[in-house]
């Protein structure tokens, strides 16, 4: 168990840094009037999760440590659902109801579609 936790921690640290850098880069490039950085991270994370889940579970027989590093550690820290909920709450608090609903509907719809696109790509990889 200790070894597995170590691998999850390493993957988590890398995923958290990647999340921060991607979100920051997107926000700086597009602007801060909407949580674009978090949206890009969440949608990309869903795509990657679907892809790697398919590859690791259906296509290869990688060690459990690889799954722990990538799926639980890296992607678990990379995707930012709690930040997504917080930012949606901030939009609601600021009475930006249309933006809040767009954030919720857009990320959920595109996220689930990206997950299945990742599965589709993974099955053909």
> pTM of this prediction?
0.81
Q: What pLDDT does residue 77 have? A: 95
CA-based torsion, 73, 75, 76, 77: positive or negative: positive
* HSE toward the beta carbon, residue 121, CA cutoff 13 A: 14
Contacts 24+ apart (CB under 8 A), 101-109: 103/34, 103/35, 103/39, 106/39, 107/39, 107/42, 107/43
* pLDDT score of 59 more than 80: no
Q: What pLDDT does residue 68 have? A: 87
Predicted confidence band at 60 (pLDDT cuts at 50, 70, 90)? confident
* pLDDT score of 65 more than 90: no
């Amino acid at each position: 168990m200790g070894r597995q936790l170590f691998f999850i921690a390493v993957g988590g640290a890398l995923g958290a840094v990647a999340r921060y850098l991607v979100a920051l880069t997107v926000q700086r490039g597009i602007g801060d009037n909407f949580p674009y950085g978090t949206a890009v991270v969440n949608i990309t994370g869903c795509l990657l999760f679907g892809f790697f889940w398919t590859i690791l579970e259906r296509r290869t027989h990688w060690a459990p440590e690889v799954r722990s590093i990538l799926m639980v550690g890296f992607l678990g820290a990379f995707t930012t659902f709690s930040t997504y909920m917080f930012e949606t709450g901030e939009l609601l608090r600021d009475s930006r109801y249309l933006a809040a609903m767009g954030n919720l509907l857009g990320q959920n719809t595109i996220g689930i579609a990206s997950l299945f696109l990742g599965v589709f790509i993974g099955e053909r990889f």
